[in-house]
Amino acid sequence: MEAYHHSVIAREGWWIIFLSCMPALIGFYQGWYVTALVCLLPLPLLAWYFRDPTRIVPAAPLGIVSPADGNVTAVGADYDPFLERECIRITIDMNWYGVFSIRNPMEGKIQRQWFERPAGTAPWLLGMRIFSHWVQSDEHDDVVVCKEPKLWRLQSVFYQQPGERVGQGQRCGYLYFGARVHVLLPGTAQTACKVGDRVRAGSDLIARLVH
């Protein structure tokens, strides 16, 4: 199933691409054609950098898809400081040259969002700014996605609000220049990835819920 999708180029990058075209437009208007063409040279690189390809969501109702593109750097039992429970934590480091869109790991309803570090911060939370959201399935499985921007002054863009229903693999936000993403799963979940795996948001399974 094709995941919810905006465009080939992430809308968060449109304004940057537009601003990069302004000197070229001025150059063409003034008749400085060589200068204008030179100003257009970064355009293909920017279009590639802000790419947002369509992803195919696997047919796995109890599956948890990766919320981000990147490399798996940690898998194992841990403590969830947001819901105060034992959990399975999967950490994904996004690459600076990767796709920066964030997708929901499963179908359900947004229960809550956090824009600060939780009380009793876990040692694996290293970033200065923490952006997290909690998704609950119809079967009351709880998954928390915690995002730590690599450039702490840049905010995470998140489009869903508490109470809204979201689909598995649905595009829900954007992280400029990437982040470290932690997926906190129920303690009974079975992992489907290992450290070193490269995963793609919305299409690669990283775990399965067990009922």
CA distance 89 to 76: 6
Tens place of pLDDT for every residue, the chain, 211 residues? 545 455 688 888 788 888 888 888 888 878 888 888 888 888 888 888 888 888 889 888 899 999 999 999 999 999 999 999 999 999 999 988 888 899 999 999 999 998 877 776 677 777 667 889 999 999 999 999 998 887 655 566 788 889 999 999 999 888 888 889 999 999 999 999 999 999 999 999 999 999 8
C-alpha to C-alpha distance for 108 and 116, rounded to whole angstroms: 23
Which pTM was predicted?
A: 0.84
Report, at the CATH architecture level, how domain 63-208 is classified. Answer: Distorted Sandwich (2.70)
Place of tokens 């948001």: 201
Amino acid at 66: S
Task: State residue 2's pLDDT score.
Answer: 47
Supply 66's token pair: 């990766």
Model pLDDT, residue 59? 86
| Greatest Cα pair distance in the chain | 68
